[in-house]
């Protein structure tokens, strides 16, 4: 569940430099503690064969520990043999963090 790419806008929303994010465990670093287990299990099910819903909603943690709701579009990534190797997520910020 390591981050292999994040665009500049995503890094800005997290309040971090892209180099700090790539290579990180997404769930340990950017998912609120109370949701980590549930979301990790959901992604593991995706890798085992479940299909993602058209839209998922779960928050991310920005650099100041602010939990921000995000709407996600998820796509399972497959290799040439059809094996599931990862999940691509494109997120859209649902609301600005309090105080911004």
pLDDT in tens, 10-40: 999 899 999 999 999 999 999 999 999 999 9
pLDDT of residue 99: 53
Residue ranges covered by each domain of the chain: 8-93
- Kindly indicate whether the domain formed by 8-93 is annotated with CATH number 3.40.30.10: no
Look at residue 41 and give its three-state secondary structure: helix
Q: Where are the alpha helices (DSSP H) in the chain?
A: 8-14, 18-21, 26-30, 33-48
Positive/negative CA dihedral, 43, 45, 51, 55: negative
Spatial distance between the Cα atoms of 82 and 34, rounded to a whole number of angstroms: 33
Other CB atoms within a 10 A radius of the CB of residue 15 amount to 14
Nearest 5°: CA angle at 37, between 33 and 39?
95
pTM given for the model:
0.79
Residue 55 near residue 65, CB atoms below 8 Å: no
């Amino acid at each position: 569940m390591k981050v292999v790419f994040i665009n500049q806008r995503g890094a800005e929303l997290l309040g971090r430099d892209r180099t700090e994010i790539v290579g990180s465990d997404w769930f340990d670093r950017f998912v609120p503690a109370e949701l980590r287990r549930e979301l990790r299990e959901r992604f593991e099910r995706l890798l085992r064969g479940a299909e993602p819903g058209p839209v998922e909603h779960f928050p991310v943690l920005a650099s100041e520990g602010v939990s921000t709701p995000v709407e996600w579009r998820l796509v399972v990534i497959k290799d040439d043999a059809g094996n599931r190797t990862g999940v691509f997520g494109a997120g859209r910020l649902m609301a600005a963090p309090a105080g911004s």
